[in-house]
């Protein structure tokens, strides 16, 4: 188990010491998809749902979540977030929340991007559940990351 960075030799979890890592520009993009009925997607896009404007609310929720990631995920380091971009698109029976995060730090922002995308999708669900309780959130994943010791990576899409 000593090969795992978040596990001590005795098997217990710990927060990795990143003080020896270089401060570099880092970025990550993640997405989450909400699957619902096409008529609900249309109402999300035209702003006619009972709870109000979904896209703006979910965008703000995603940004707030990015900034709170280290409060929610126990082994994440608090990071100075340089920028967050949230794109929410809908087509057919799907709404995709895509979150891109940037920092200049000693560790990456994949978890921040995943948290933002997840909370953005949860917010969309919260706002559509009155008209479709069977909506589901799926495909939460990192799409790409840049910077750091391991370099750049892009998921197969």
Active-site annotation, residues: 126
Number of domains, the chain: 1
- The encoded tokens of residue 21 equal 């890592």
In a domain, 19, yes or no: no
Instruction: Supply the pLDDT for residue 1.
Output: 42
In a domain, 113, yes or no: yes
What is the arithmetic mean of pLDDT over 90-116? Answer: 96
Residue 136 is part of which domain span? 24-147
Say whether pLDDT at 44 is over 60: yes
Query: Would you state the pLDDT for residue 105?
Result: 93
Of 86, 84, 67, whose CA–CA distance to 76 is shortest? 67
Residue 36 belongs to a domain with what CATH number?
Answer: 3.30.70.640
Residue 72 lies in a domain: yes
Question: pTM for this structure?
Answer: 0.91
Q: Does residue 98 fall inside a structural domain?
A: yes
User: Is residue 139 one of the residues assigned to a domain?
Assistant: yes
The whole-number pLDDT of residue 7 equals 67
3-state helix, strand, coil in the chain (%, to 5): 30, 30, 40
What is the torsional sign of CA 32, 45, 65, 131?
negative
- What is the rounded average pLDDT of the residues 117-126? 98
- The mean pLDDT of the chain is 92
């Amino acid at each position: 188990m000593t090969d795992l960075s978040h596990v001590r030799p005795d098997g217990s979890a710990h927060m990795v010491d990143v003080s020896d890592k270089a401060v570099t520009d880092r970025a990550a993009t993640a997405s989450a998809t909400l699957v619902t009925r096409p008529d609900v997607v249309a109402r999300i896009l035209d702003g006619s749902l009972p709870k109000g404007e979904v896209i703006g609310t979910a965008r703000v929720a995603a940004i707030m979540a990015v900034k709170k990631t280290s409060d929610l995920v126990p082994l994440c380091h608090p990071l100075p977030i340089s920028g967050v971009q949230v794109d929410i698109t809908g087509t057919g029976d799907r709404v995709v929340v895509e979150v891109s995060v940037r920092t200049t730090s000693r560790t990456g922002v994949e978890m921040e991007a995943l948290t933002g995308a997840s909370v953005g999708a949860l917010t969309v669900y919260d706002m559509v559940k009155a008209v479709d309780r069977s909506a589901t959130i799926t495909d939460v994943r990192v799409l790409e990351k840049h910077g750091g010791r391991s370099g750049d990576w892009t998921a197969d899409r």
